[in-house]
Structure 1
Amino acid sequence: MNTRLIALIAAALAAAPAAAAPRIESVSVKPNPAPFEAGRTSDVVISVTIDRPTPLDISCEALIDPGDGGRTLSMSWDLGDRRTKTTRYEYKKPGSYRLKVSGTGKDACTGARDITVTVGAPAAPAAAKAAKTAKAPSCPSGWTLVEGSVKGARYTCRARQPAQALRCAEGTSYFSERGEIGCR
């Protein structure tokens, strides 16, 4: 009976790592959208998090396909490693890319995740649209926009002339200069 029990325990232990392999939980890219300047590359940080069912899961391997036809990256987790690992990647051209992370190798992580990475150019149309829909400058009540003062987001307001002049006391007279009114 002892041999049967030992064989049963050995079979359970042999099957356990396959059933409890770490799973790819999430992937993120920062910055996203990534800025892009002509003649330069856009450097991003890719973070991959795994979910370990037990603290004894020893290793897990994953491949990262950045989606731009460039080199494939690899990540591996060993006993004692943190759940989240990061790596850097440089995109050479602006565009929208589908970054994919999936398990690979003998000790492959289970599951797969993907994320859209936007580099440079696609973000520009949104900025242009925002500029077109920007509200014209306006002055607060009692003020008027100075003609010819609008230059982009900069403008000048001046106090409106009152509908009727002030009634000044005897011996004083109404005045209006440089946006000020009063009796002198």
Structure 2
Amino acid sequence: MKVLAFAASNSRQSINNALVKYATSQIENAEIEILDLNDFEMPIYSIDREKDNGIPEQAQKFYDKIGAADAVIVSFAEHNGSYTAAYKNIFDWTSRIDMKVYQNTPMVLLATSPGPGGAQSVLGAAVNSAPYFAADVKAHLSVPSFFDNFDMEAGKLTNGEINDALSNALKQLAN
């Protein structure tokens, strides 16, 4: 199984990146590719830019990587209750190639934040909009109070209940 994963953040210290790296380390017998959204930086989407310059090459590369994957894992950072600008821009450009951005690929959607909300607002938005963009969401999980439940030095979840929930979510990708 080829698994594509990324944190929907462009922060170099992204806790969502730490979570997605841990999640992918729990998948056995899989080829893992973890994307850095900084590699897909593009001008802010506008219809005028699209008409004047076409769709940037990075959007096509992002779309192609999703299409080549057997499964996708995304961990969403939350900025003011919504998607990060970095993710939203990549998504907006990619959706101009095909509204079915996720190409019916099985997905696990994650989110975390330092606070007790665990980025549930953005995760809810992602889960609810997923069918419109051909995302086959098999499971989703919010990790609240990240630094209370994750050991950054060891790079792993320390909360057994959340770890079990993550394991169960990841098992859904094989189904």
State whether TM-score is above 0.5.
no
Which has the higher relative contact order, 1 or 2, with Cα contacts under 8 A spaced 6 or more apart? 2
TM-score, normalised with respect to structure 2: 0.22
TM-score, normalised with respect to structure 1: 0.22
Q: Which has the higher strand share?
A: 1
Q: Which has the higher helix share?
A: 2
